[in-house]
Amino acid sequence: MAFVSTIRLSRIYGSSYQTNLSWICTSHAQASSEENGKPYDISTYQFPYTLEERSLILSIINNATEEMLARLKVSKSMRKKLLKDRHQTGSYMDLSQLLNVDGMGIKSVEQLCSFILKDMGETEKETDPNDSSFVYKKRLVKPRLQQHVLKNIKTLVSLDVTVGFLSWTKLDNKSAVLDVNCEEILTASSRLDLPKLYEKVVNISKRIPVADAYVWEEKANYGHLQGATLGIIIASLQLAQIRGMLTALLEPCHGRGAEKRLFYLRDALVSKLFRLKVGSERISGINLADQLVKGHQLLEWLPALDISKEAQTKFITCERTKRRHMATSLFIGLAFSQVLILQNKNALKILSR
The CATH code of the domain that includes 254 is 3.30.420.10
Q: Are residues 191 and 299 in the same domain?
A: yes
In DSSP terms, 263 is beta-bridged to 215
Residue 124, in any domain of the structure = no
Q: Are residues 52 and 164 in the same domain?
A: no
Residue 127, in any domain of the structure = no
Residue 128, in any domain of the structure = no
Q: Are residues 330 and 193 in the same domain?
A: yes
Number of compact structural domains in the chain? 2
| Pairwise pLDDT comparison (155 vs 35), residue with the higher score | 155
| Pairwise pLDDT comparison (290 vs 56), residue with the higher score | 290
Where a domain ends, among 57, 86, 119? 119
| Pairwise pLDDT comparison (175 vs 224), residue with the higher score | 175
pLDDT band at 231 (very low <50, low <70, confident <90, very high): confident
Q: Which of 134, 112, 115, 116 is nearest to 125 (CA)?
A: 134
Position 131 scores a pLDDT of 56
Q: Report the mean per-residue pLDDT for the chain.
A: 79
The region of weakest confidence among 24-38, 65-79, 179-193, 205-219 is 24-38
Domain containing 314 equals 133-351
Q: CA-CA distance, 278 to 74, in Å (whole number)?
A: 14
Q: Are residues 147 and 271 in the same domain?
A: yes
Q: Are residues 158 and 277 in the same domain?
A: yes
Q: Are residues 147 and 102 in the same domain?
A: no
Position 134 scores a pLDDT of 73
Position 36 scores a pLDDT of 39
Position 67 scores a pLDDT of 84
* pTM of structure: 0.66
Please state, for a pLDDT cut of 90, what percent of the chain lies above it. 36
Q: CA-CA distance, 65 to 210, in Å (whole number)?
A: 38
| Pairwise pLDDT comparison (9 vs 50), residue with the higher score | 50
| Pairwise pLDDT comparison (180 vs 56), residue with the higher score | 180
141 and 266 in contact (C-beta within 8 Å)?
yes
| Pairwise pLDDT comparison (114 vs 28), residue with the higher score | 114
DSSP per position, 45-113: ------HHHHHHHHHHHHH--HHHHHHTT--HHHHHHHHHHHHHH-S--SGGGGGGSTT--HHHHHHHH
Q: Are residues 108 and 213 in the same domain?
A: no
pLDDT over 50 (residue 123): no
122 and 353 in contact (C-beta within 8 Å)?
yes
Please state, for a pLDDT cut of 70, what percent of the chain lies above it. 78
Position 125 scores a pLDDT of 38
